Amino acid sequence: MINRLKKYLWYSTSSLSRFFQRVARYHWHNYPFGTKPRASREEYLRLSYDVQYQSYPEIEEFESSTGFSISLDWLHDLALHTQIVIKQSPLCYAHGRILYSALSRYLRNHEQVGTSNTVTIWETGTARGFSALCMAKAMHDFGASGKIITFDVLPHDKPMYWNCIDDLERPKSRAELLQPWRRLVENYVIFFEGDSQIEMSKVKLERINFAFLDGTHTYSAVMSEFDQIRDSQVAGDVVVFDDYTEGQFPGLVEAVDEICHTKSYDKKIIRAGNSRGYVVATKN
């Protein structure tokens, strides 16, 4: 009788859980960026051209200090398909440069201390896959082995419009959107669908060498995501935080400051103009 009751409760709970998962995912599977292209090819190309010629002195200084910088031709091509979108705020994909340089420096230092060149990277906020691909390129260029595990509510294999230039061809899945870079995806990237604060807890890893946290920009969300990885990092490991911008995301800034102060991380603030900031945090 007890075993039958346990079985019934397990089945009921699992069924209810699956129901709520379907409800939660409905929005993200049902054209969340709209049901048609949002601009002409000429408009997307104009926006891409404008962003390419932005200057970011602090990022150039950071690249110089690490000794590593991403190929800008490669970066701009990827960004055209994954970062050039129609939105109110200024476009900026400088975090791709920071991720490439910071990860390349980490891989060099990791190798110099005689540890395995296999690394595990976590990311929240996959979106169209831009950041994951920039990190995968660093892995490829350095000849490193390992995996980038990335979390987002957006599905990987569901065709949709993405508010990008590829929409002018047809609705595509993220997998199709990233087809030109499929070798990097196949070799390095694992996609998880769902709320990062739920999905991250399902994946237990002993070591997370490098992380890029770019999920929901609230104090509680940032702290929750960091709590999932903090016990899996050792001295020298790195967390990069996107959108460290006081006027726009005060909760995120508060969380990052608290993490660096109380969890013993050195904080390097890098700004891309007045409207966008990043933090590269290295564990002591």
The mean-pLDDT minimum among 21-35, 140-154, 220-234 falls in 21-35
Name the residue type at position 251: G
Beta-carbon contacts of 108 under 8 Å, excluding residues fewer than 6 positions away, are: 67, 68, 142
Contact status, residue 175 vs residue 126, Cβ threshold 8 Å: no
Q: Which CATH class is domain 34-283?
A: alpha beta
- Is the pLDDT confidence value at 190 over 70? yes
Read off the tokens for 161. 């419009």
- Is the pLDDT confidence value at 100 over 60? yes
The pLDDT tens digits of the residues spanning 231-279 come to 999 999 999 999 999 888 999 999 999 999 999 999 999 999 878 999 9
Measure CA of the first residue to CA of the last residue in the chain; give whole Å. Answer: 55
Map out the domains of the chain as residue ranges: 34-283
Instruction: Count how many Cα atoms sit within 13 Å of the Cα of residue 232 in the half-sphere of its side chain.
Output: 21
> Where does the pLDDT of residue 10 fall: very low under 50, low under 70, confident under 90, or very high at 90 and above?
very low
* Predicted pLDDT at 275: 80
Span 216-232, average pLDDT: 93
Angstrom distance (rounded) from CA 5 to CA 9: 6
Span 209-230, average pLDDT: 93
Give the SS3 label for residue 265.
Answer: strand
Query: In 113-170, which ranges are continuous DSSP H helix?
Result: 130-142
Give the SS3 label for residue 71.
Answer: coil
| pTM score of the predicted model | 0.90
